[in-house]
Amino acid sequence: MRLAVNMRGFPVLLALLLVCASGHAEMSGQQRAETAGHELIGSPAPRMILKTIDGNTIDLGRLYGKKAVYLKFWATWCVPCREQMPHFERAYESQGSDLAVIAINAGFNDSIEDVRTFQKRLGIKMPIVIDDGTLGAALNLRVTPQHVVIGRDGRIQYIGHLADERLDAAVAAARRAPAVKVASVNDGNGELKKTPRQEPGDRAPRFTTKTLDGSLFSLQESAQNQPTVLVFLSPWCESYLATSRAAMAAKCREVREQVDVLASQNPRVRWLGIASGIWATTGDLSKYQADHQVKIALTLDESGVLFHQFGVMRVPTIVIIDHGGTIQSRIEGNDAQLPSRLQSVTSGM
């Protein structure tokens, strides 16, 4: 296979080579965003009907062909998001008939109350949408903030992390392009569909994933013969949020310690820690495992597909699945009843 590369794409290629060479390679936020978004550049942007926190509706599909679209994924707990908000607000204030600017809260460990408080404190005027993970998964969300610029032809032109001259140039180029006719989507075909949140009583989605040690962990009919506990986590929760969200960081630590004890006491249960791919690489997860002596199997959900399939938007979240593949419990944060919940799925085995 021949690989054609121009110099403009060289930084992205270099980042990809570094990651392939070593899972521990340190990448900047810009490199993470560019690497994740590389395959999307030039492809049709996702169509989705968005609801703002003020109750308004934004149909992305109807904007394509008429306006350039600038989406910024962000979170209230994210320091660079807060630092870049003035730049983003200026972009919103300068929008016109050729540009739509939309703030997409990633929905990860954020509530609508968190978002409204942040909006009021910073005086944000632009429309704000809280994603349920659907749009973020479609646009390979890996960092916050993550900027996505969509041209007037409805195709993705730029994905990055920094509010710099590259972003400004991408927005300006998207605005200058003439309006074009973009094929419409009839009867909702081609629009992104939200994945229902998995609740107790539902069948757990089937998947196979590779753990840090290279083993395969499977949740399939053929492999399901004992209870499984999935622990959704972020390797930076305890450290990064220690000052900005101390209570949340404490929950992450408490659940890690609780799971460590329960996993040693329940050898008949399969345990898997699933780490979010937002601001995390396999190197970050390996360091987390070593620093905290984590004994359960760990996997990095780099694309966010497992978080999305199980409808997880907060960490830590624990999902308990019985030996038949049915979700028995879903727990957000530390739960004193977790031991008894485990007992209920292991009794009689």
Q: Tokens for 133?
A: 């993970």
Total structural domains within the chain: 2
Residues 137 and 223 in one domain: no
Residues 229 and 337 in one domain: yes
Q: Which of 188, 219, 242 is the last residue of a domain?
A: 188
201 within some domain: no
Question: Which pLDDT band, with edges at 50, 70 and 90, does 13 fall under?
Answer: very low
Residues 166 and 30 in one domain: yes
Residues 231 and 183 in one domain: no
- Model pTM score: 0.88
Q: What is the pLDDT of residue 192?
A: 80
Q: What is the pLDDT of residue 182?
A: 86
Question: Which pLDDT band, with edges at 50, 70 and 90, does 184 fall under?
Answer: low
Mean pLDDT, range 209-234, rounded to an integer: 88
Look up residue 303 and give its amino acid. Answer: S
Q: What is the pLDDT of residue 187?
A: 45
57 within some domain: yes
Residues 56 and 144 in one domain: yes
pLDDT in tens, 76-108: 999 999 999 999 999 999 999 999 999 999 999
pLDDT in tens, 314-341: 999 999 999 889 999 999 988 889 999 9
Residues 151 and 212 in one domain: no
Residues 16 and 158 in one domain: yes
80 within some domain: yes
pLDDT at 221 over 70: no
1 within some domain: no
Residues 115 and 153 in one domain: yes
Q: What is the pLDDT of residue 333?
A: 87
Q: Which of 188, 223, 250 is the last residue of a domain?
A: 188
Helices and strands, number each (H, E), in the chain: 12, 14
The CATH number given to whatever domain includes residue 312 is: 3.40.30.10
Helix locations, the chain, DSSP H: 10-21, 29-37, 60-63, 79-93, 112-122, 134-138, 165-176, 237-244, 246-265, 282-292, 305-309, 338-346
Mean pLDDT, range 197-222, rounded to an integer: 90
202 within some domain: no
113 within some domain: yes
Residues 77 and 154 in one domain: yes
Contacts of 328 (CB under 8 A, 6+ apart): 200, 320, 321, 322, 341, 344, 345
pLDDT at 38 over 80: yes
pLDDT in tens, 238-289: 999 998 899 999 999 999 999 999 999 998 899 999 999 999 999 999 999 9
pLDDT at 14 over 80: no
pLDDT at 313 over 90: yes
Residues 332 and 228 in one domain: yes
pLDDT at 17 over 80: no
Q: What is the pLDDT of residue 3?
A: 33
Q: Which of 119, 153, 188 is the last residue of a domain?
A: 188
Question: Which pLDDT band, with edges at 50, 70 and 90, does 185 fall under?
Answer: low
- Residue 20 to residue 179: CA distance in whole angstroms: 40
- Residue 332 to residue 175: CA distance in whole angstroms: 43
Residues 219 and 182 in one domain: no
In the chain, % of residues over pLDDT 70: 89
Domain range spanning residue 58?
7-188
Q: What is the pLDDT of residue 10?
A: 39
Residues 136 and 230 in one domain: no
Q: What is the pLDDT of residue 6?
A: 38
pLDDT at 56 over 60: yes
- Residue 178 to residue 27: CA distance in whole angstroms: 36
Mean pLDDT, range 5-31, rounded to an integer: 51
52 within some domain: yes
Please name which of 196, 200, 153 lies closest in space to residue 321, comparing C-alpha atoms. Answer: 200
307 within some domain: yes
